[in-house]
Amino acid sequence: MARLFHLPLDPFCRRVRLALGEYGAQADLIEERPWEQREGFLAMNRSGLLPVFVDDDKTVAAGIEAVSEYVDETRGGPDNSLLGKSPAERAETRRLIAWFDVKFHHEVSAPVLGEKIVRRHLPKEAGGGAPNMNRVRSGLAHIRAHMEYIGELAESRNWLGGDDITLADLAAAAHLSSLDYLGDVPWRESPAAKSWYQRIKSRPAFRPLLVDKIRGMPPPRTYTDLDF
Amino acid sequence: MARLFHLPLDPFCRRVRLALGEYGAQADLIEERPWEQREGFLAMNRSGLLPVFVDDDKTVAAGIEAVSEYVDETRGGPDNSLLGKSPAERAETRRLIAWFDVKFHHEVSAPVLGEKIVRRHLPKEAGGGAPNMNRVRSGLAHIRAHMEYIGELAESRNWLGGDDITLADLAAAAHLSSLDYLGDVPWRESPAAKSWYQRIKSRPAFRPLLVDKIRGMPPPRTYTDLDF
């Protein structure tokens, strides 16, 4: 069985789990805390970043860019790809993936999740302790413009990238879902974004994410509710 | 003719120029200063980031991830791809691209190029002025470990990603070449990295980068020298 080294609330790992679900593919999930810098993990991915996917034949894909494309090539293939059908469609999917994985991550996910979750697990000498609420507030201020942009896209297209669901939807949903676990998504900002998220949250591929539980940090009731 | 919106010393744009050269493809180069936030440019790429590639048929690929894959699909194709031949090879290429575009960029290129080049062009109210030498020094301290890693890869493989030249080599070379324009690459750190770079610097695709000139900031003599 293929293995995915992941963390439950890491948006990049969540995207891969969503994609596996959409392809109808399986993988054993192995929880890895990258801040522990475990030797065996660093041997698979020297950069120390999640996710890492180890295939049945021991092929290792390391880091979100490699894992996402590898899984699309091997589990999706040309007929079931979540990137799009033409080079132009794939360019739009990849533009939006970068929007969420680079810009949204830098402005929102990294400060909010970093402060509220990662910092709890770090030893004191590595910066562990109470969250820096200034960084959290900055992240939550930035999320509003992103909700608007998602709403704009959702109003002008069937899915964020175009007619069909793509990895762009999964990337956006992965980031939002991690923040939603913390109750930090201002759904009222954009009804169009909310209704797009309701559609994606109702898909079977989404179910495993809704049962994730972080010890000592239960999600708000609306996290699992399809009619939030 | 296709058009590439770029900046001469931007490592991401340089990678695309190198790739176009390797594929034997052409594009008009149009210089764009992203910090000016030109409306027509933001209409093509809302994130405001370079590079943007506009194809003959007006297809727009925006951002390095989209541009790099789009150009590989349309100019390289299955027989001439610079990503690798198998899913496993492509996973390794993409792992290394992320190493350079994310980790190396964050630790080295962004602080050094941001302080020494971008800041010169910014208006004072947007943070323009003299470089923050602490950030420059931090970037230059981090480059040493990367030179070692490049050397390790170059010693154990024909090219950084494996037997053949790939976008991983072009990504590494693009970042290093921008820093080399500033005389900021410690070539003595790793003879293996230096000899890998000599090979890639000698390729015809590299020539256009060697004639780049930034006004008021000439490169050191060794920048163009193949025997540096």
pLDDT at A81: 98
Chain A hits for B102, CB-CB cut-off 8 Å, are 47, 63
**pLDDT band (50, 70, 90) for residue B124:** confident
**CB pair distance less than 8 Å for B94 and A45:** no
Write out pLDDT tens, residues A23-82: 999 999 999 999 999 999 999 999 999 999 999 999 999 999 999 999 999 999 899 999
**ipTM of predicted assembly, 2 dp:** 0.96
pLDDT at A221: 95
Write out pLDDT tens, residues A206-224: 999 999 999 889 999 999 9
**What separation in angstroms does the CA of B92 have from each of A15, A97, A168?**
20, 20, 22
**CB pair distance less than 8 Å for B94 and A60:** no
pTM: 0.97
**pLDDT band (50, 70, 90) for residue B122:** confident
pLDDT at A124: 85
Eight-state DSSP code of residue B24: T
A44 in reach of chain B (CB within 8 A): no
Write out pLDDT tens, residues B74-117: 999 899 999 999 999 999 999 999 999 999 999 999 999 999 99
As a whole number, mean pLDDT of residues A134-148 equals 97
Write out pLDDT tens, residues A149-164: 999 999 999 999 999 9
Measured distance CA(A144)–CA(A137) in Å, rounded? 12
**pLDDT band (50, 70, 90) for residue B127:** confident
Give one DSSP letter per residue of A17-33, joined into a string.
HHHHHHHT---EEEE--
Is residue B126 pLDDT above 90, yes or no? no
Question: Min CA distance, A217 vs chain B (Å)?
Answer: 31
Measured distance CA(A190)–CA(B159) in Å, rounded? 49
B156 in reach of chain A (CB within 8 A): no
Question: Min CA distance, A219 vs chain B (Å)?
Answer: 31
Contact indicator for B167, B19 with CB cutoff of 8 Å? yes
pLDDT at B165: 98
Question: Min CA distance, A91 vs chain B (Å)?
Answer: 5
**CB pair distance less than 8 Å for B103 and A47:** yes
Q: What is the mean pLDDT of chain A?
A: 96
Chain A hits for B64, CB-CB cut-off 8 Å, are 98
pLDDT at B125: 83
**pLDDT band (50, 70, 90) for residue A126:** confident
As a whole number, mean pLDDT of residues B17-28 equals 98
**CB pair distance less than 8 Å for A90 and B98:** no
pLDDT at A123: 83
Q: Which CATH architecture has domain A87-203?
A: Up-down Bundle (1.20)
User: Looking at the partner chain, which of B47, B90, B95 has a beta carbon nearest the beta carbon of A103?
Assistant: B47
**pLDDT band (50, 70, 90) for residue B202:** very high
**Helix or strand holding residue A61 (H, E):** strand A60-62
User: Looking at the partner chain, which of A47, A64, A103 has a beta carbon nearest the beta carbon of B99?
Assistant: A47
**pLDDT band (50, 70, 90) for residue B70:** very high
* Percent of chain A whose pLDDT exceeds 70: 100
User: Looking at the partner chain, which of B45, B66, B98 has a beta carbon nearest the beta carbon of A66?
Assistant: B98
Is residue A22 pLDDT above 90, yes or no? yes
pLDDT at A140: 97
Looking at A24-123, list the stretches that DSSP marks H as alpha helix, in order from N- to C-terminal side. Answer: 39-44, 64-71, 87-98, 110-113, 119-121
Is residue B121 pLDDT above 90, yes or no? no
**Nearest alpha carbon to residue B122 among B40, B36, B37:** B36
Mutation to test the B interface, candidates A72, A92, A94, A167, most B Cβ within 10 Å? A94
**Nearest alpha carbon to residue A78 among B62, B87, B72:** B87
As a whole number, mean pLDDT of residues B146-169 equals 98
Chain A hits for B149, CB-CB cut-off 8 Å, are 46
Chain pair A-B, CB pairs under 8 angstroms: 91
Chain A hits for B98, CB-CB cut-off 8 Å, are 47, 63-66
* Percent of chain A whose pLDDT exceeds 90: 91
Give the strands of the sheet with A52-54, arranged side by side. A28-31, A3-6, A52-54, A60-62
User: Looking at the partner chain, which of B63, B64, B95 has a beta carbon nearest the beta carbon of A62?
Assistant: B95
Looking at chain A, list the stretches that DSSP marks H as alpha helix, in order from N- to C-terminal side. Answer: 11-23, 39-44, 64-71, 87-98, 110-113, 119-121, 133-156, 167-181, 191-201, 207-210
Contact indicator for A1, A186 with CB cutoff of 8 Å? no
In sequence order, what are the residues at sequence separation of 6 or more whose Cβ sits closer than 8 angstroms to the Cβ of residue B125? none
**Nearest alpha carbon to residue B62 among B71, B73, B53:** B53
Is residue A121 pLDDT above 90, yes or no? no
Domain boundaries, chain A: 87-203
